[in-house]
Amino acid sequence: MMKKLTKIKAAMLCGAMAMGGTAAKAEMEYQQVSDLLHLVMSSDRTVYTRMIVNRLAVKEGVIKASEHFEDDKALVLPAQMFRFGAEMVAEETDAFSYSLLSLWPINKQNAPSTDLEKEGLEYIADNPGENFYGEEELGGVTYFTAFYPDVAVAEACTQCHNEHKDSPKTDFEGGDVMGGVVIRIPMDG
């Protein structure tokens, strides 16, 4: 039901593969496009958390990560890092958008706001390791919307959320699904 695939003609500019200045074109499916976008997002997110935040704030204790990073002269939180990137993308294109949501949000703005968001977040929380794909109509536009589990990949994740005063859940453990990355692509036609 949710794994409905729809074709998209995505002109992929494969710079490295472009021969003689001709851009290679490939027909990809929404799901594939979304999966590849997510791979970049989640890899960057994991690298930032493990190699910057967890190493310097949790293991070495030389600097902390804080929501008020400017006042505190601290590291930007992983979720803020993610949102700042999403905001820059939104300034550049309407071709896709993304966000980080959760059923147990510290920031209430990160709670699900559409029926599909609720369904998708519940599905990925109940089925660890699986993604969820669906379609939804918002403001007259039909979107392909994908949900990917956001997993506690470092001690910093669980420690900070469990101890945060606004966290509705205080017993996250390593490897738990803490929320989800949501990617939305408007479908044409």
Interface residue with ligand HEC among 38, 41, 76, 102 (CB under 6 A) is 102
Query: What spatial distance separates the first Cα and last Cα of the chain, rounded to whole Å?
Result: 21
Cβ atoms of 23 and 180 within 8 Å: the answer is no
Smallest separation (angstroms) from ligand HEC to the CB of 73: 14
Assess 116 for contact with ligand HEC (CB under 6 A).
no
Give me the sign of the Cα torsion angle 4, 9, 14, 17.
positive
Q: CB-based burial of residue 62 (10 Å sphere; 0-12 exposed, 13-18 middle, 19+ buried)?
A: exposed
Q: Does 146 bind ligand HEC (CB under 6 A)?
A: no
Question: Which residue's CB comes closest to ligand HEC?
Answer: 179
Q: How many CB atoms lie within 10 A of CB 117?
A: 21
Q: Is 67 in the site for ligand HEC (CB under 6 A)?
A: yes
53 binds ligand HEC (CB under 6 A): yes
Q: Tell me the site size for ligand HEC, rule CB under 6 A.
A: 24
79 forms part of the interface with ligand HEC (CB under 6 A): yes
Nearest to 180 by CA among 55, 82, 93, 96: 82
**CB neighbour burial string for 30-49, b if at least 16 within 10 angstroms, e if fewer:** bbebbbebbeebbeebeebb
Binds ligand HEC by CB under 6 A, chosen from 41, 76, 146, 154: 154
Which residue from 152, 182, 183, 185 is in contact with ligand HEC, where contact means CB under 6 A? 152
Min. distance of Cβ 110 from ligand HEC in angstroms? Answer: 4
Q: Which residues bind ligand HEC (CB under 6 A)?
A: 49, 53, 65, 67, 77-79, 100, 102, 105-107, 110, 150, 152-154, 156-157, 160-161, 164, 178-179
